[in-house]
Amino acid sequence: MFDQLDSQSSVPLYSQIADRLKIAIVVRELPPGTLLESVRALAARLRINPATAARAYRQLETMGFVEIRQGHGCYVRPIEGNLSAREHHREAEQLVRALLKEAEVGGIHINALRAALHAIIGGVA
């Protein structure tokens, strides 16, 4: 999920992390109720400052994707009831733009993205 974090990117690391988690939440790779790894564990795994991991989680909380329970962790929230149709569309567009930008940086052609998307969602689009 965090394979291609780019510390040289103009997009801050916490935003890159939050964007990847948003995608995982939206496509239900991380279903509602999932406990995310602790800030310390995420920071250690990604070799980043714990404040960066905490900021990513706070950004997701502000956007309604997760709920942070002090002392108990960070949990994925159901998104259907939290976002209007317009907000869903806006979020989807932002996720697609972020994906396309990352693909461009990684040299991944749009046809490869289409094939991967088709494979992941089973042709439902």
Q: Maximum CA pair distance of the chain?
A: 44
pLDDT tens-place string over residues 76-95: 999 765 556 667 677 778 88
pLDDT tens-place string over residues 32-69: 999 999 999 999 999 999 999 999 999 999 999 999 99
pTM: 0.66
Domains of the chain: 13-121 (1.10.10.10)
For residues 24 and 116, what is the distance between their CA atoms, to the nearest angstrom? 15
Mean pLDDT value of segment 86-105: 79
pLDDT value at residue 35: 97
Mean pLDDT value of segment 102-116: 84
